[in-house]
Structure 1
Amino acid sequence: MRWHKRLLAAGAVAAVTLSAAACAGGQVRGAADSTEPAPSAGGAGSAADSTFTYVPNLDVVTDWDPASSYSNEIIAMQNIYESLTRYNPQTKKAEPRLASSWTSSPDGKKWTFTLREGATFHTGKPVDAAAAKASIERTIKEGQGAAYIWSAVKKIEAKDATTLEFTLKYPTPLDLVASAGYAAYVYDTTAASGDLKKWFGEGHDAGSGPYTVESWQKGKETELTLKAYDGYWGGWDGAHYKKLAFRVTPELTTAWQLLQRGEVSFVQRLNSQLFAQAGNTNTVQTAQTPSFQNLLVLFNTADGPLKDVKLRQALQKAIDYDGLVAALKGAGVAASGLVPEGLLGYTQGLTPKQDLAGAEALLKEAGYGPGGKQLELSLTYAQGDSDQELLVTLLSSALDKLNVKLSAKPLQWTTQWDQGKAKDPAKRQDVFVMYWFPDYADAYSWFVNVFHGEDAVQFNLSYLKDAAVDKEIDGLPALTATDQPAAEKAYSGLQEKIINEKAAVAVPYVQTYQRAFAKSVQGYTDNPAYPNVVFAYDLKPGA
């Protein structure tokens, strides 16, 4: 089951703020019945004692288990837990985290990680190779969330306290896999005397990161508070935020007002109007960064009228790509193919343009369009997502002129996804709109999840089944690990095939993160490999 995280990708709500519908359940840990408000962003005491207050728009934690966690809680978990490596978007490579160095064999099938010395879990136990091996093996065994990232692993051995060796079934860039935003966490599997999953579910953590859980108050406005872990291997010299609070505020305007008043430190996304206002507010700073998240318009290649490739190509040409990007006012940039810039596989020259004359000619060839019979199509998209709604409005207007009636239905993500996966093909939509971003900084995620043939539909919501495409997709990890120029060429060819030849998808834009945060926050940089995560330890609180 991988739905938690994909809610985050596809079920955006309210001005496309990345969030998932919260899962019920979970007990309260710490000051459960406290009704005290969170400390303000510039709270009393020295700068080192101040609290960094993050404002998400929906519940923070849906799953406390680092093995299966696959949703909103990434914004907290990446501050509580650590992985062997972390992706650096500037160098476009993995860099040390719990592993200080690593090597791979020439064939890409054996990887050896050297763990840093002196790191401990919040339980006090050492982060050694045996503990890292146990956590990754448990994640693989649980088989939930993004556990598939370890699918190449054949065997893990703890050679000594600091040496962790992986033997793979096939070549894979394991340094990138180990930097994944989900399922790559190293944790203490011996933290609970009884049921570990139940223990996690009560709001406990067993990480090695700079922060540990202080209180979790499910349903409260300040849902989660983290405090500094004194034994953190990175140390606490110099100015650091010693607390990290997550204050749930569904309305963007309310979040913006709290930031203006100095009650919170960071708002993860503002709409264009509020973002422009933030740019002219002297107590606030802003950041605008291209993400690794793009919008996919998936066409039903298996059933219904869009089984005809000419009609799919006509729809691709009908989308007003330039008009949509202009209307987003900076919240998105034109896409060039499936792979966003910054990832291996990004290919220039694939940016689509509207071509209504070309669309009309293709419709006529298929017996539709002006002067022919009317084509009727169904489309589903995320309820409350103003950017997707804008796409639908522009597309409906263009199709009206081409004698195509588009019945567009906004749905909650779970409802939309259930319809897309319906066993009866007649109940499925003709066009499925959703966001996608990778689990680790590698383009493979789009291809293996969204366009590889599936017997039971999960995320291949264009229903594309092509043996040749599948074979090329299956070869991508090995090429990435052993021959990157060949991998670049393979990614380019696959995009040409999937977008142009098969016409399974249109990719209108890549989302741009629009952040606003307090002027006092120093050292913030966005890392698109970890959507909406603020690595609070790396920040320096200022006056």
Structure 2
Amino acid sequence: MFKKSLAAALIGAALVGLAPLAQAQDKVLRIVPQSDLKILDPIWTTAFITRNHGYAVYDTLFGVDAQGKVQPQMVGDYNRSADGNTWTFTLRDGLAFHDGKPVTSADVIQSIKRWGQRDGLGQKMMAALASMEAKNDKTFVMTFKEPFGLVLEALSKPSSNPPFIMPKAVAETPADQQITSTVGSGPYIFKADEYRPGEKIVYVKNTKYVPRKEAASGTAGGKVVNVDRMEWVVLNDAQTQANALANGEVDMIEWVPSEQYLALKDDPKIELASPVPTGSYALHLNRLVPPFNNAKIAQAALMAMNQEALLRAQMVHKELYNTNPSIYPTGTTFHSTKTSYFTGKPQFEKAKALLKEAGYKNEPIVFLYPANFPAINKFPPVMAALLKQAGFNVDLQSMDWPTLVTRRAVKKPASEGGWNAFITGWGLADNINPMFFAPMTGNGEKGWFGWTSDDELEKLKGEFLKTSDEAQRKALATKIQERVYDAAVFAPVGEYKPLTAYRKGVVSGLVSGPVGVLWGIKKN
């Protein structure tokens, strides 16, 4: 009783604090986000919460519709030369930043350059570029040294990380430093003066934003905002989230906690929807520091994987998860059953033998544990137990999700504030293509957190980029998958069905697509 009363008191206090501002607006959409927002730079992390913030505040040159097709967004017209090496883009009319200044080619070019220093596909594209120049304020030209097969796919990349367009002065911030300005050109304006990490994040409608005329679909089409104000109400406890929605204190839960699935499903006042496709989870290892800088020790960790046990603990209900030992989503073009030694099932004896062969010295494995993040907080204790069964010494360290997102960027040894392993979630838009998936890198410290160095993986990815033949791409995608396991880059935990919950008869208009977006939503 005390716990329930305390939770009610806490949420009541939080929502009362929002009341004066809410009364001043005609329509306020209150959403429980999947986690707190502490990193505002959209290229500085692949965390979905920062990506979602990016889509609210910024715009992109191209989008991806619900059918997975690339569509122009900020771009009005574009063409490619006959040899495929030169691309000319012209921005559409009406584009302006939140400070009233027009979006120009110079802003676009600098934004792409900055993004291209952090994103894996962006790095490949920048390496292939001969030049990127502005013809005038609205037209810019990209010239490649040789045909680059994923130009539009790169410029429309929907997740991890999208190439958002920001003012040139902001985009001149070094890529290894976070931006301090949130001026964008997107459909929402971020209210920095009301930003309260751990409590609420506030956006207001950008009344000067000019949406495209096409219907909204995925990250493409008209980004029409139908509310005056959007508030992200940060509630970490799953029960508190469900109570707040049932009581009408919030309008929507972005990511339904699995333990509240049945209660919300059975509530006649609540609607459940899946606006985004099946996602996946993955185990990531720090290959830069001991002991996982030894490939055999890293392989032993992957052999401890028990997808069924992990997914059952996190997702609870069988209809919400699916085991899949492939790094690609089930039913998609590059999905393959050729997974080298990895099965998604525990191989404890083989793991122990590898540890002995590799000379593992019982060093503690610092496993990052986001205890208050309902979307993934059941995984770490189970994975820690599996690793112990395989012969590892595990140090499970509890923290909140924003702290984990910050700490995973630390390259120091675990004993000096670094880390060895963590589990996170991905969307179908991330791993549907080997060139899209952020952790699928072998370029060491230039790559995603974990920093695997593997020339063979990078060679295979380079070959994938150079061919447009689908049969060759599929064969290469399979080789890339096998190499990911042989090099112990990461391991899939399995797939999940993402669910959003909202108040029936109050909220409508959710836009379906590769990632969750927050335009188009109506509140009655």
Q: 1:168 aligns with which of 132, 144, 154?
A: 144
Match of 1:434 in 2: 423
**C-alpha distance in 2 between matches for 1:414 and 1:245:** 22
Say if 1:60 and 1:224, in contact at 8 Å, map to a contact too: no
**C-alpha distance in 2 between matches for 1:229 and 1:239:** 9
- What aligned pairs does 1:31-70 form with structure 2 within 5 A after superposition? 36-37=18-19, 49-56=26-33, 59-60=36-37, 62-63=39-40
- What aligned pairs does 1:122-141 form with structure 2 within 5 A after superposition? 122-127=98-103, 131-138=104-111, 140=113
Structure 1 residues 492 and 228, CA gap change in structure 2 (3 angstroms): same
**2:80 pairs with 1:94:** no
Residue 59 of structure 2: SS of its match in structure 1? Answer: coil
**2:326 pairs with 1:337:** yes
Structure 1 residues 317 and 540, CA gap change in structure 2 (3 angstroms): same
TM-superposed CA distance for 1:257, in Å, is 2.3
**C-alpha distance in 2 between matches for 1:256 and 1:525:** 22
Structure 1 residues 77 and 176, CA gap change in structure 2 (3 angstroms): same
Residues 257-294 of structure 1 show CA distances to partners (whole Å, capped at 9, x for unaligned) of 22222232221223212122111112221124545553
**C-alpha distance in 2 between matches for 1:423 and 1:260:** 45
Match of 1:417 in 2: 408
**C-alpha distance in 2 between matches for 1:268 and 1:418:** 26
Match of 1:498 in 2: 484
Say if 1:345 and 1:492, in contact at 8 Å, map to a contact too: yes
Match of 1:117 in 2: 93
Q: CA RMSD in A?
A: 4.6
- What aligned pairs does 1:377-526 form with structure 2 within 5 A after superposition? 378-384=365-371, 390-395=378-383, 397=385, 404-412=391-399, 413=404, 417=408, 421-422=411-412, 432-435=421-424, 437=426, 443-444=433-434, 449-454=439-444, 456=445, 459=448, 461=450, 464-479=452-467, 482-499=468-485, 501-519=486-504, 520-526=506-512
Residue 534 of structure 1: SS of its match in structure 2? Answer: coil
In structure 2, what residue type is equivalent to 1:140?
K
Say if 1:301 and 1:308, in contact at 8 Å, map to a contact too: no
**C-alpha distance in 2 between matches for 1:201 and 1:508:** 35
In structure 2, what residue type is equivalent to 1:443?
N
Q: 1:185 aligns with which of 139, 161, 164?
A: 164
The two structures have a TM-score, normalised by structure 2, of 0.73
TM-superposed CA distance for 1:492, in Å, is 1.0
**C-alpha distance in 2 between matches for 1:498 and 1:70:** 20
**C-alpha distance in 2 between matches for 1:248 and 1:424:** 30
TM-superposed CA distance for 1:354, in Å, is 5.7
TM-superposed CA distance for 1:217, in Å, is 1.0
**2:325 pairs with 1:346:** no
The two structures have a TM-score, normalised by structure 1, of 0.71
Say if 1:101 and 1:115, in contact at 8 Å, map to a contact too: yes
Structure 1 residues 360 and 233, CA gap change in structure 2 (3 angstroms): closer
**C-alpha distance in 2 between matches for 1:540 and 1:365:** 56
TM-superposed CA distance for 1:495, in Å, is 0.7
Say if 1:290 and 1:510, in contact at 8 Å, map to a contact too: no
TM-superposed CA distance for 1:232, in Å, is 1.9
Residues 198-252 of structure 1 show CA distances to partners (whole Å, capped at 9, x for unaligned) of 9x8465x241x33334663132744313124145244799993343233333433
Match of 1:17 in 2: none
Say if 2:384 and 2:396, in contact at 8 Å, map to a contact too: no
- What aligned pairs does 1:278-317 form with structure 2 within 5 A after superposition? 278-288=264-274, 289-298=276-285, 304=291, 307=294, 309=296, 313=299, 315-317=301-303
Residues 174-210 of structure 1 show CA distances to partners (whole Å, capped at 9, x for unaligned) of 2122123546223444899xx9999x8465x241x33
Match of 2:523 in 1: 541
In structure 1, what residue type is equivalent to 2:105?
A
**C-alpha distance in 2 between matches for 1:266 and 1:283:** 12
Q: 1:322 aligns with which of 308, 322, 325?
A: 308
Structure 1 residues 535 and 392, CA gap change in structure 2 (3 angstroms): closer
**C-alpha distance in 2 between matches for 1:487 and 1:302:** 33
**2:141 pairs with 1:156:** no
TM-superposed CA distance for 1:491, in Å, is 1.5
Residue 264 of structure 1: SS of its match in structure 2? Answer: coil
- What aligned pairs does 1:218-229 form with structure 2 within 5 A after superposition? 218-219=195-196, 221-229=199-207
Say if 2:300 and 2:352, in contact at 8 Å, map to a contact too: yes
**C-alpha distance in 2 between matches for 1:188 and 1:471:** 35
Say if 1:315 and 1:359, in contact at 8 Å, map to a contact too: no
**C-alpha distance in 2 between matches for 1:320 and 1:142:** 36
TM-superposed CA distance for 1:166, in Å, is 1.4
What stretches of structure 2 of length at least 5 have no aligned partner? 1-15, 214-221
Residues 403-432 of structure 1 show CA distances to partners (whole Å, capped at 9, x for unaligned) of x2532322542685367x236999987x52
TM-superposed CA distance for 1:120, in Å, is 4.0
**C-alpha distance in 2 between matches for 1:464 and 1:393:** 25
Structure 1 residues 154 and 387, CA gap change in structure 2 (3 angstroms): same
- How many residue pairs end up in the alignment? 477
Say if 2:62 and 2:155, in contact at 8 Å, map to a contact too: yes
Say if 2:252 and 2:500, in contact at 8 Å, map to a contact too: yes
Say if 1:320 and 1:354, in contact at 8 Å, map to a contact too: yes
**C-alpha distance in 2 between matches for 1:302 and 1:201:** 31
**C-alpha distance in 1 between matches for 2:493 and 2:286:** 14
Matched residues, percent identical?
A: 17
Structure 1 residues 374 and 355, CA gap change in structure 2 (3 angstroms): farther
